[in-house]
Structure 1
Amino acid sequence: MIRAILFDLDGTLIDSTELILVSFNYVMKEYLQKEVPEEEIRNLFGIPLRKQMALFGTEGRADELVERYREHNLQNHEKYLKPIKGAKETLAALKEKGYLLGIVTSKKEDAARLGMQICQIESFFDVFVFSDDVTIHKPEPEPILHALRQLKVSPKEAVYVGDSTYDIISGKKARVETVGVGYTPVSREALKATNPDHWIEEITEILEIY
């Protein structure tokens, strides 16, 4: 029996696509004098930020680029961030059904909490796992397993909902049920190729499964 439903944050519950694209392009242009196509940036969604920056800058500049990105990103949260349609109502309904809810994200705690507060969803969750909380990140299973240990829930009693290939791969490695979201900002084909256990086109459809 499913007892806990864990969610990725950006792209799953919060629409941060424009914010990410704007912040990424700001760093590329200002500090590396590079133009990166939007599709190429979208393909990086779900990958830890430092790893993204190391792909475009030298390894030695990755930490600097991350800091510049985060500064710009935090300053522009309220301007560009918005909740996924139906997310707040869906979370409320899942809580009403008695599920434990959690966030497992590759974002740092300050940015993730700010986004949840802007979208008014933070209060629904029983556990949070941010990038600061683990040393091994998605697509490895550790972030999800860390959340389950805190909830005292076994993998067979849990679900992970996400919008990126890293999310679904992480969930499968953790041996939880997985749900892919069709409104993903990344390639739908790539996400479907990871074979999530369930597929939804809108976040509200999860209520038809659980």
Structure 2
Amino acid sequence: MLSYDAVLFDVDGTLLDSAPGILSTLREVFCKMGTDISGVDLMRYVGPPLRRTFGEYSTDEAWIERATDLYRDSYAVRGCHMCKPYPGAAEMLRRLKDAGLILCTATSKPTQVVTPILEEQGLAPWFDLIAGASMDKSRDTKTEVIQYVLDQPLLQGKRVLMVGDRHDDMRGAAACGLDAAAVLYGYGSREELAPFKPRLYAESCQQLADLLLGAPL
């Protein structure tokens, strides 16, 4: 028996293995900005908002905006094409959609950035709403993105689940009063996610669909 009417999906690390393009673009930007990142584990920056990432290296707002712009310009040319759906992602979305669930994204990528990526990867048709951050700072955190999606008419009065792979997804869900599902095939570990007490864990896209459509939660 379904427990939810709608599912919000993070994108990076949940639907798409996008780390290669993100990491490549980050290295390029840090080099251009003259920032030494030797010894830095860049994987921790796969998922969180860009401005927060660059804010770890400078408190200068102009510097942060310059780095953000450089990243977006480069990513739009090359990095955005260096991703692929996780095994079973399209089939998972099809199964959930066929079961009558409303499907939306809630990603830290700006909406105008993530939409063509999902279209290129063949996942866009399954979504009722593709939503993400704004290009400016008006909707920049995962909590703000989730709340923006929840405010849309199609989700009013619905039981909603947030699905993601990083602590930002779990924290954003909790801040918005939602249950969360944690995927373990992405970029976050069980140790990172466990403190937020997600409603369920999934080792694969297939298992996530199975849990939502059949197994007790």
With structure 2 as the length reference, what TM-score do the two structures score? 0.87
Q: Cα gap change, 1:8/1:31 in structure 2, threshold over 3 Å: closer, same or farther?
A: same
Measure how far apart 1:146 and its partner are.
2.1
Residues 178-200 of structure 1 show CA distances to partners (whole Å, capped at 9, x for unaligned) of 00110122343112232211100
SS in 1 for 2:182: strand
SS in 2 for 1:107: strand
SS in 2 for 1:56: coil
Number of matched pairs: 207
Structure 2 residue 6 is matched with structure 1 residue 15? no
RMSD: 2.0
Q: 1:47 aligns to what?
A: 48
Q: 2:128 aligns to what?
A: 126
Measure how far apart 1:70 and its partner are.
1.0
SS in 2 for 1:93: helix
Q: 2:99 aligns to what?
A: 97
Q: Is contact 1:21–1:38 with CA below 8 Å preserved after alignment?
A: no
Q: Cα gap change, 1:31/1:138 in structure 2, threshold over 3 Å: closer, same or farther?
A: closer
Q: 2:215 aligns to what?
A: none
Distance in 2 between residues matched to 1:116 and 1:10, nearest whole Å: 11
Measure how far apart 1:207 and its partner are.
1.6
Q: 1:56 aligns to what?
A: 57
Measure how far apart 1:167 and its partner are.
0.2
Candidates 138, 141, 144, aligned match of 1:138: 141
Q: Is contact 1:177–1:197 with CA below 8 Å preserved after alignment?
A: yes
Measure how far apart 1:44 and its partner are.
2.6
Measure how far apart 1:33 and its partner are.
3.9
Distance in 2 between residues matched to 1:63 and 1:78, nearest whole Å: 20
Q: 1:152 aligns to what?
A: 155
Amino acid at match of 2:87: K
Measure how far apart 1:128 and its partner are.
2.5
- Matched ranges for 1:56-205 at <5 A: 56-59=57-60, 60-77=62-79, 79-132=81-134, 135-140=138-143, 142-150=144-152, 151-154=154-157, 157-205=159-207
Measure how far apart 1:139 and its partner are.
4.7
Distance in 2 between residues matched to 1:30 and 1:196, nearest whole Å: 39
SS in 2 for 1:209: helix
Task: Point out where structure 2 has 5 or more consecutive residues left out of the alignment.
Answer: 213-217
Q: 1:209 aligns to what?
A: 211
Moved more, 73-82 or 2-11: 73-82
Q: Is contact 2:45–2:53 with CA below 8 Å preserved after alignment?
A: yes
SS in 1 for 2:138: coil
Measure how far apart 1:149 and its partner are.
2.5
The percent of aligned pairs where both chains have the same amino acid is: 25
Task: Point out where structure 1 has 5 or more consecutive residues left out of the alignment.
Answer: none
Distance in 2 between residues matched to 1:5 and 1:146, nearest whole Å: 14
SS in 1 for 2:105: strand
